[in-house]
Structure 1
Amino acid sequence: MKKVALHNLGCKVNAYETEAVQQMLEECGYEIVPFHEYADVYIINTCSVTNMADRKSRQMLHRAKKQNPDAVVVAMGCYVQTAAEEVKNDTAVDIVIGNNKKHELPGLLRKYEEEKANGETELAVIDINEKGQPYEELFLKKTAEHTRAFIKVQDGCNQFCSYCIIPYARGRVRSRKTEDVLREVEHLAEQGYKEVVLTGIHLSSFGVDTGDTLLHLIEEVHKVDGIERIRLGSLEPRIVTEEFAEKLAGMPKICPHFHLSLQSGCDVTLKRMNRRYDTEEYANKCEILRKYFKHPAITTDVIVGFPGETEEEFETTREFLENVHFYEMHIFKYSKRKGTKAAVMADQVPEDIKTKRSGRLLELEKEMSEEFREFYLGRTKEALLEEEMELDGMRYFTGYTKEYVKVAVRADGHAANTMVRGRMERELSDGLYLMVEF
């Protein structure tokens, strides 16, 4: 039995694909071992969202070959897709697999073993941007997460934001068939999973190529017995309409936890980014969510130091963020990505200024996040327990409310993947709140 080690870089979509590939290999008789151990095959699912991600991908490929020079090293994913020739010429790599080809891995391994005497690197990379590419169907039977399963329902992006390489790495929008999503969700529910997270490269585009809609998909998933919670991955603001929010609010399994992509709170900067909304529209979408959900958790992403961002533009962004009042913000310093329009824009912002601006937003994020969580003190909430921990000599089970506030209950008599209901009493440690059951 050959040993295989896998390592994932990047987003939740990548993580889903890595787990699906691992299960394919297990079914083919491979033994899965940790990445730091000796293996006959090393598989790295690469990322290319930034130049740093490219570098980390190369480092992991070389680390694998160093651990066992005789191993078969497989590079797959986004970095491969954007730099196929570079990866093919890397002496550390034996098999190169782009996106939409990961399902072919077992066959490519067999082929490489049969033909490796010729010394050629096995290459399986298509033109991902060619029209008519199908959705690559992978199926997840289990997940490393014991209570929450991420379900990939969509791939590709048609947006072409000026800073982003992902449309070139993932191709055009491709949606999974609703019946295939439901088959997977039903299987996971049978395995005991209570919470699913619908995710994709550009989730809001689900169905634009098939005549379906994300709302319809959510309604169908909501009908699956055994699933008690549904979360949504990152959404574009424009998908939030009165109808969308009202119908979601009518589904009790929906978690009022919405990640609305922003990137900048300044209209001038948004235009340079080629984002397709302005701050007025964005703020309106947040108001709609707050109209139909009581105190929803609204989170976002913000890029600081985008090319041309002046101090005035940054201050406009900071004020907008404070006015909208988010639960959490993921703050990123702009990172130049070769192959994008932003990489060659004038007025690149110096690194020290990016760091200063990032620090100011991180301080704001901490204040708003604490304020959001403190709203629930003294209130009754329900949490899905996930794991046991020790704090100050006491044993607790921790889990999350529907709003993704982390809570802890005394461990006695509890188990992972069970629901508890109680009153949030006080903060135990940074961001962790004690819940006392009734």
Structure 2
Amino acid sequence: MKSVALHNLGCKVNAYELEVMQQKLQDRGYKIVPFDSDADIYIVNTCTVTNIADRKSRQMLHRAKHRNPDAVVVAVGCFVQAGEENRMDACIDLAVGNQHKKDIVEILEAYLEEHTADASAVTDIGAVREYEEMRMEQSTEHTRAYIKIQDGCNQFCSYCIIPFVRGRVRSRKQEDVLAEVRGLAEKGFQEVVITGIHLSSYGMDFIGETDGDYLKNGKDLRGTAFERAYLVSLLEEIAKVDGIRRIRLGSLEPRIITEEFAGRLAAIPQLCPHFHLSLQSGCDETLKRMNRHYTAEEYYEKVQILRKYFEHPAITTDVIVGFPGETAEEFAVTKTFLEKVHFFEMHIFKYSRRKGTVADKLPGQLTDAQKTERSGQLLALEKEQSREFRAHYLGQEVEVLIEEQKEIGGKVYWLGHTDTYVKAAFAADSAECMDYSNRLVHGRAVSFLSDEVLEIALNF
């Protein structure tokens, strides 16, 4: 029995795909071992979103080969998809592109039989139009399962390489999604997280000229109402699956939020009021250089729609600081806008140049010191806003899906998340001697255990 060690880099979609690959290998009889142990085969699910991600991918691949020079090192995903020069790295024995992850076992076994030099299974992803069907039967997560429903992106933001390594938008058939959700629900999963590379484009590729109704008054409606309808209809069907108590959404583009869309979401009892709306900048001039297709004011209008239909929703976002050409005045505009919106959480990223993107060649590249100083300001703001959001729940009843036991301040607690993704916990010695993992509990939030965790008093 050959041993396989796997390591994931990058996004939640990558994590989902690695779990499916691991599952396929286990089903074929391979022994899964930790990545830092000796193995016959090392598989690294790579990332290439920034130059730093490229470097991390190389480091993990070289670390594997250094640990066992006789092992087969397999580079999978975006790093090898980005270019032949990456696939030619001396430490890589086998390269597998994004469209062939579902075939990892067959590709690996063909290589082991033939040991073809410089073996590669990488397709021109830009020409791929069919969704690569993968199905997760069991997640390594204890309480929630990630469900990938879409791949690819057509947005071409000026800083992003993803459309070139993930290809055009490809959506998963509703019946395949529901089959996976039912299987996971039968295994006890109560929460599913719906994710994709560009989730808001789900269904775009289902619309063709044969539909005859995507054109109205000469206007192409693809990218607007049709995708919203496909996505929300899928969510409504997922909500009908027995055992699913929570549905959480991955990252959304702000343009998808409309009165109708929010209203239909609010009518789904299982839908968690937790929305990640990608922003990147609060300054219109910066957004134009990023090739983002909305203004700051339009973004704010979308947030207000969500706050109209959901009571105290958790709004989270991504912000890039130090984008090429960002002046001190533009940064100040962004900071003021972030204060105005008042997010639950903000993921602050210092702009990282990525070869092959438009932004890499833009004038006005900022120094790392400038980016670090601006990032520090926003991180401080994020910490303040995040604590204020959590403090809202003090004295209130909350529902928590318990995930694990964790030591906090020298004491053991049962820890989980509310529907708005706030961490909450109760002392293990305050409850009956039983396993609370994957149980929904109710209690009153009474205090902060830490900046990120609320303590609750259970309702027994």
TM-score normalised per structure 2:
0.93
Give the distance between the partners of 2:16 and 2:176, measured in 1 at CA. Answer: 15
Gaps of 5+ in 1: none
Q: Which residue, out of 204, 207, 212, partners 1:208? A: 204
Q: Which residue is equivalent to 2:186?
A: 190
Matched, 1:10 2:31: no
Hey, what's the Cα distance between the residues in 1 that align with 2:359 and 2:414?
45
1:134 and 2:151 correspond: no
Instruction: Tell me what 2:452 maps to.
Output: 431
Equivalent pair of 1:425/1:433 in contact (CA under 8 Å): yes
Aligned positions of 1:318-397 closer than 5 A: 318-397=335-414
Q: What is the Cα deviation at residue 114 of structure 1?
A: 1.8
- Is residue 93 from structure 1 mapped to residue 92 from structure 2 by the alignment? yes
**Are 1:230 and 1:254, in contact at CA under 8 Å, matched by a contact in 2?**
yes
Q: Give the whole-Å Cα distance in 2 for the aligned partners of 1:44 and 1:29.
A: 19
Which position in structure 1 is the counterpart of 2:299? 282
What is the RMSD computed on CA atoms of the aligned residues?
1.0
Establish whether residue 120 from structure 1 lines up as the match of residue 117 from structure 2: yes
- SS of equivalent to 1:383: strand
Aligned residues of 1:81 and 1:98 also touching (Cα < 8 A): yes
Deviation at 1:90, TM superposition (A): 1.7
Count of matched residue positions in the alignment of Structure 1 and Structure 2: 434
Aligned-residue sequence identity (percent) comes to 62
Q: Give me the whole-angstrom Cα distance separating, in 2, the residues matched to 1:391 and 1:99.
A: 40
- 2:455 maps to amino acid: L
Alpha-carbon distance in structure 1 between the residues aligned to 2:70 and 2:94: 13
- Distance in 2 (CA, whole Å) between partners of 1:400 and 1:11 is 20
Q: Which amino acid aligns with 2:165?
A: A
- The equivalent of 1:422 in structure 2 is 443
CA distance in 2, matches of 1:8, 1:169: 17
In structure 2, what is the Cα distance between the partners aligned to 1:48 and 1:393? 39
Give, as a single letter, the amino acid of the residue that structure 2 aligns with 1:145: E
For residue 33 of structure 2, what is the aligned residue in structure 1?
A: 33
Q: Which amino acid aligns with 1:126?
A: T
SS in 2 for 1:372: helix
Which residue pairs with 1:146 in the alignment? 142
Are 1:387 and 1:399, in contact at CA under 8 Å, matched by a contact in 2?
A: yes
What SS does the corresponding residue of 2:91 show, helix, strand or coil? coil
Is the CA contact 2:387–2:451 (under 8 Å) kept in the aligned structure 1? no
Asked if 1:199 is matched to 2:195, the reply is: yes
- Does residue 255 of structure 2 align to residue 238 of structure 1? yes
CA distance in 2: counterparts of 1:87 and 1:355, whole angstroms: 29
Describe the SS at the equivalent of 2:449. strand
- Deviation readout 1:216-258 (Å, 9 max, x if unpaired): 1111111111010000000000111001111111111010000
Matched letter for residue 274 of structure 1: N
Mapped to 1, the partners of 2:81 and 2:410 lie a distance apart of 49
Partner of 1:74: 74
Per the TM alignment, residue 44 of structure 1 is displaced from its structure 2 partner at its CA by 0.4
TM-score by length of structure 1 reads: 0.98
Partner of 2:214: none
Contact 1:87 1:93 in 2 (8 A): no
Aligned residue type for 2:439: T
